[in-house]
Amino acid sequence: MASQLTCTGNDKEWNHGYEFIRKASSFSSSPSESSSSSSSNGYDYIIVGGGTAGCPLAATLSEKFSVLVLERGGVPFTNPNVSFLENFHITLADTSPTSASQCFISTDGVLNSRARILGGGSSINAGFYTRASSRFIEKVGWDSKLVNESYPWVEKQIVHRPTFSAWQRAARDSLLDVGVSPFNGFTYDHKYGTKVGGTIFDRFGRRHTAAELLATGNPDKLTVLVYATVQKIVFDTRGTRPKAVGVIFKDEKGQQHHAILNNDGQSEVIVSSGAIGTPQMLLLSGIGPKEDLQKLNIPVVLDNHFVGKGMADNPMNTIFVPTKRPVKQSLIETVGITNLGVYIETSCGFGQSNDSIHCHHGIVSAEIGQLSTIPPKQRSIEAVQAYLKSKKDIPVEAFRGGFILSKVANPWSTGELKLVNTNVEDNPSVTFNYFSHPYDVHRCVEGIRLATKVVQSQHFTNFTMCDRQTTEKLLNLTVKANVNLIPKHVNDTQSLEQFCRDTVITIWHYHGGCHVGKVVNPDYKVLGVDRLRVVDGSVFPESPGTNPQATVMMMGRYMGLKILQDRLGKFDGI
């Protein structure tokens, strides 16, 4: 029981006083009994996934219509592993079935995570908040006026100014020193140069997630069920076009339920399960490549071979920064937005709590699967466990330091997602094909060169009290940083191209799989079927801004307002 509480949090006031959040087993097949908000026929909107986009979307739609949110995970409010910055790594290190994160390994060999908790990625990420570029907003065809109303709606509720540690200050000064200028100060906006962005951690280190945006919803029209694992979307295929009529989900006790839509032709199932979960859900529901579905005996609702295609993940590589000075844990606060097609960020230190894994390496620690110093194909859960076991006796001082992170902004390398079975709780097979396109390798090399200059800057050497290291020494330090006691691939640090390929990790910004024009239309309605829409990062052609969570939350609010406007007209304050 103790281990379960560690993963899921205390049961006392588990729903944070939100009466509309209930456990899935409380659901009644008759919506009128399950929620005062629903008509006798069903719900106006069923949202599959209470994540970064799903929560603001649900809150907005509930202003006028009955909404049912089905979230497969639990709540973030009473889970200390989720709530506090110092415990950031614990959830990602937890591979148990009750963890707020679900580990997966792409076929490339890179360890990754997907959220399994109300609030989605905002409940397990590093907290950095920064808006998309105006170019991105224009590229995806959004109404800039509505966008600029939707971002502040999020920011006023859950976004904070970071405390801005001495480490981050050294990073800022070093970025400016190596030419990533001008300094744009504290801003949410995406501007070339160096800036300090927002964070969803307050000054006490407590996380504020997308789940808190539900507080603005209409409690009389909103029902949020946690531990509700949707098995598939149900369609009526008797007409000329299939139409979504509801979903089938299982509760925490394993009982199956059928939630149905209102008979109104404008009611919709909206899938907001993220870039892994959404294409997986469409495939499990019979929308995808006919031949792949038939192999798994999934009845074909719509043959669309683009579902799951075009998956991308922004590759990240790091440079280890040794220090003789004690450093306080710091996640992302400063970012260098370069004209090289890379973003430079930094994190340092590690948190310690009674439940934590000691001597971890912060945001790129082996404990959370970021074995950057082992080539991708050799990474595994077993390798992580072997490493953890081997380093327990190493003194904390050996792990003091931080990392400069270099992220390729808009990867040209893409892959695909495929089902391996029909169990929604199992991960699909995901391939990102990191660095398969030479342009990505070129940008990574430029990023590593820049990151190395940042570490070599006088501002960092003064702060760390370490002598300026040669590029080769820094790369070798990075190669050895995490894996002193287990066999490792010997990198040719003369070759930055090889260094990029061998040390690639994720920063969890994967996207794609349900692209506009191929799987959904510009309003994100699924092509070829009625009453089904997608609202999340699976529709993105690239990851917005330096870090996507701000735009994903804004998208939930934006699309909620768009749907209300389209359905009701631009009146009554909408």
Query: Is 72 known to sit in a ligand binding site?
Result: yes
Q: Is 71 annotated as a binding residue?
A: yes
Instruction: Tell me the C-alpha distance between 175 and 156, whole Å.
Output: 29
CA distance 141 to 147: 11
- Parallel, antiparallel, or unpaired: how do β-strands 45-48 and 67-71 relate? parallel
C-alpha dist (Å) from residue 198 to 189, 276, 346: 10, 26, 14
CA distances, 259 to each of 67, 236, 263 (Å): 11, 14, 13
Lookup: tokens for 499: 């260094």
Q: Name every residue whose Cβ is closer than 8 Å to that of residue 338 and which is 6 or more positions away in sequence.
A: 180, 192, 344, 447, 450
How far, in Å, are 126, 233, 278, 311, 387 from residue 538 at the CA level? 20, 17, 7, 8, 34
**418/39 Cα distance (integer angstroms):** 37
User: What b/e readout covers 386-409, taking b as 16+ CB neighbours within 10 angstroms?
Assistant: bbbeebeeeeeeebbbbbbbbbbb
**Cα three-residue angle 275-276-277, rounded to 5 degrees:** 100
Q: Is 537 annotated as a binding residue?
A: yes
Torsion of CA 468, 471, 473, 475, to 10 degrees: 130
DSSP class per residue in 447-467: HHHHHHHHHHSHHHHHHHT-P
Instruction: Retrieve residue 401's tokens.
Output: 């330091």
Give the phi and the psi of residue 5 in degrees, each rounded to 5.
-65, -35
Q: 385 among the known binding-site residues?
A: no
For residue 232, the cross-strand partners are 248
Partners of 489 in beta bridges: none
Q: Which residues pair with 101 in a beta bridge?
A: 115
Give the torsion sign (CA, 269, 275, 280, 283): positive
Name the helix (H) or strand (E) containing 344.
strand 342-348
Is 549 annotated as a binding-site member? yes
Active-site annotation, residues: 509
Cα 149-154-160 angle, rounded to 5 deg: 125
Q: Where would I find the beta strands (DSSP E) of 162-228? A: 183-186, 193-196, 198-199, 222-226
Hey, is 91 helix, strand or coil? helix
d(CA 271, CA 56): 13
Residue 80 assigned as binding residue: no
Structure tokens at 105: 């390994």
Alpha helices in 51-143 (DSSP H): 54-61, 80-83, 88-93, 134-140
Annotated binding residues for FAD, as ranges? Answer: 71-72, 230, 508-509, 537, 548-549
Annotated binding residues, as ranges? Answer: 71-72, 230, 508-509, 537, 548-549
